[in-house]
């Protein structure tokens, strides 16, 4: 009986840690889903751009000893700017119906960003500041990491801001119009390129926060982060349903929690196999994601 309770507490703790860490996955997932929703295209550069944003934030921290909040803000802005650049070099001048070329261009940009980071830092891991890094909340048997709680709060806040922009502003209306009916939107006088560019900037701003949050919750920033985050982001996007922001949030938390539980139960060598099987289950039984409607889109 004693064992059972210890086990139950351990599991609960694993789930809590995983859920909170999953909020960084959720932020990346939202970015992917936003861009996919707007352009029906995959932006493979996204996670790398988010990490690159965090590196710019780190520059401010290292050279000007800025407050972590400012570091996050700079990361976000930098990533937004990179998002704009990525749009310009990977999407703007490539024919709209050529999905492969745009995808490949973003892969090229991914290599480029990764390699630039590697060259500047010699690929060395660098310490990244956390907000409330020392804080923690004890809830009886389990405890909650203060910095992750902040990450979680920041994810919720940025998502709320994003939803506000999408559903309460003219810009959001334009974005949704373009994503749903590209040609019709153009006929209504919406500048599709500008709207798409704005989407990339908004997604980039969000990605910068995600990158900084990831770096803050690990405590170190390294180019090793980009590939796993890209994969996690894609998984979250699919599990959450393409284009669904609430889906991406739930999926992010879910993937984070599942990862930690499988790690606890089965060890690290098998952990990812189970997470991927979970993804297969979703692909087979709920191909439209958590909140996906069963529309057959052509």
Partner 1 sequence: MFYPKNLAGLLPAAACVVMLLLPGLSQAQERTVKIAGWGAKSGPLRSFGVNSEAVLKAAVESINAAGGVSLGDGTRAMMEMEYYDSACNADQAISVARKVASQTEALIGIGPTCSGAAAAMYGIFQKNVDNSGDTGLQFPILTDTAIRPGLAKKSQWTFRNVPNEINMYDELFAWLRENHPDVKTIYGGTETNQAHSKLTFAKVIVQMATKHGFEWVGGGIDGLTGKIGSGSDQVLETTKASNWLMEDTNFSVQARAFKKSRADMLIVSSHPFTTCGMLKEMKRQRVRPKVLVGLTSSSSQETLLGCAAEAEGMYIPTGFAPVTSVAKRVAKAATANGGFADLHSAAAWENAWIIKQVVEETGIMAKPSTLAADRRKMRDGLEALDNVDGLLGSVGRVRDEGESIKPFVFVQATGGQWVVVHDPRN
Partner 2 sequence: MEFYFGLAQIIGIHVILGLSAYVLMLTGQLSLAQAGFFAIGAYSAGILTVLFQFHIVPALIIASLVAGLFAFLIGFPALRVRGLMLVVATIAFSEVVRLFFFNLSWRKTIDGIEAGPDSTNGFREIRFFAANGWEPYQVTLFVWLFVALVMFLIWWSDRARSGAVLRAVGEDELAAHSVGINITAVKVAAMTAGGMIAGIGGALYAHTATYVDHLTFTILLGTFAIAYPILGGLRSVFGTLLAVVLIQGVLVEGLRALGDWRNILFGVIIILTMNLKPGGLFDTQTVQALRKGLAFRDKGAPNA
State how far the Cα of 130 lies from the Cα of 151, in Å rounded to an integer.
Answer: 10
Please identify, using beta-carbon distances, which residue of 100 and 183 lies nearer to partner 2. Answer: 100
Site residues (CB under 8 A) for partner 1, limited to 207-236: 214, 217-220, 222-225, 227-228
Among residues 202, 203, 187, the alpha carbon closest in space to that of 47 is found at 203
Is residue 21 within 8 A of residue 256, CB to CB? The reply is yes
Please identify, using beta-carbon distances, which residue of 3 and 269 lies nearer to partner 2. Answer: 269
Q: Which two tokens stand for residue 197?
A: 């560019």
Q: How far is the CB of 143 from partner 1 (least distance, A)?
A: 8
Tell me which of 101, 127, 156, 157 binds partner 1, using CB under 8 A.
Answer: 127
* DSSP letters for 242-260: TT-HHHHHHHHHHHHHHHH
Burial class (CB in 10 A: 0-12, 13-18, 19+), 75: buried
φ, ψ dihedrals at 221, nearest 5°: -115, 135
Is residue 91 within 8 A of residue 41, CB to CB? The reply is yes
190: left (phi over 0), alpha (psi -120 to 50) or beta: beta
φ, ψ dihedrals at 44, nearest 5°: -70, -15
Please identify, using beta-carbon distances, which residue of 53 and 68 lies nearer to partner 2. Answer: 53
Please identify, using beta-carbon distances, which residue of 95 and 189 lies nearer to partner 2. Answer: 95
**Residue 100 binds which entry of partner 1, partner 2, none, with Cβ cut-offs from 5 to 8 Å by kind?**
partner 2
Please identify, using beta-carbon distances, which residue of 62 and 163 lies nearer to partner 1. Answer: 62
State how far the Cα of 188 lies from the Cα of 89, in Å rounded to an integer.
Answer: 27
Tell me which of 11, 116, 126, 149 binds partner 2, using CB under 8 A.
Answer: 116
Please identify, using beta-carbon distances, which residue of 209 and 229 lies nearer to partner 2. Answer: 229
Cα 200 → chain centroid: 13
Please identify, using beta-carbon distances, which residue of 79 and 199 lies nearer to partner 1. Answer: 79
Binding-site string for partner 2 from residue 176 to residue 215, where x marks contact by CB under 8 A and - marks none: ----------------------------------------
* DSSP letters for 10-43: HHHHHHHHHHHHHHHHHHHHHHHHHHHHHHS---
Site residues (CB under 8 A) for partner 1, limited to 242-281: 256, 259-260, 263-269
Binding-site string for partner 2 from residue 217 to residue 256, where x marks contact by CB under 8 A and - marks none: ----------x---x--xx-xx---x--------------
State how far the Cα of 22 lies from the Cα of 218, in Å rounded to an integer.
Answer: 13
Tell me which of 126, 177, 192, 197 binds partner 1, using CB under 8 A.
Answer: 126
Site residues (CB under 8 A) for partner 1, limited to 66-125: 115, 118-119, 122-125
Is residue 71 within 8 A of residue 57, CB to CB? The reply is yes
Residues near partner 1 (CB under 8 A): 10, 13-14, 17-18, 21, 115, 118-119, 122-127, 133-134, 136, 145, 214, 217-220, 222-225, 227-228, 256, 259-260, 263-269
Residues near partner 2 (CB under 8 A): 36, 40, 42, 89-90, 93-95, 98-105, 107-113, 115-116, 118-119, 227, 231, 234-235, 237-238, 242, 269-270, 272-273, 276-277, 279-280, 283-284, 287, 298
């Amino acid at each position: 009986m004693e064992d059972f309770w210890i086990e139950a507490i351990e599991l609960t703790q694993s789930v809590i840690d995983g859920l909170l860490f999953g909020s960084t996955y959720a932020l990346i997932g939202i970015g992917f889903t936003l861009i996919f929703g707007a352009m029906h295209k995959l932006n493979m550069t996204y996670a790398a751009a988010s990490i690159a944003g965090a590196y710019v934030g780190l520059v401010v921290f290292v050279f000007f000893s800025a407050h972590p909040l400012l570091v996050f803000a700079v990361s976000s802005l930098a990533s937004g700017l990179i998002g704009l650049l990525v749009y310009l070099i990977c999407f703007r001048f490539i024919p709209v119906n050529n999905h492969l070329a745009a995808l490949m261009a973003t892969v090229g940009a991914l290599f480029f960003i990764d390699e630039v980071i590697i060259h500047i830092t010699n690929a060395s891991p660098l310490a990244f500041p956390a907000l409330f890094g020392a804080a923690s909340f004890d809830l009886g048997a389990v405890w909650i990491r203060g910095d992750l709680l902040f990450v979680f709060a920041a994810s919720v806040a940025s998502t709320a801001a994003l939803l506000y922009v999408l559903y309460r502003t003219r810009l959001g209306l334009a974005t949704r119009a373009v994503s749903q009916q590209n040609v019709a939107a153009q006929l209504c006088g919406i500048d599709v390129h500008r709207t798409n560019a704005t989407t990339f900037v908004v997604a980039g701003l969000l990605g910068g926060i995600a990158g900084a949050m990831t770096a803050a919750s690990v405590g170190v920033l390294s180019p090793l982060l980009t590939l796993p985050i890209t994969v996690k982001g894609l998984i979250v996007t699919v599990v959450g349903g393409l284009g669904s922001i609430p889906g991406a949030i739930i999926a992010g938390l879910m993937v984070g929690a599942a990862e930690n539980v499988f790690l606890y139960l089965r060890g690290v060598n098998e952990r990812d196999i189970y997470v991927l099987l979970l993804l297969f289950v979703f692909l087979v039984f709920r191909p439209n994601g958590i909140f996906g409607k069963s529309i057959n889109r052509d």
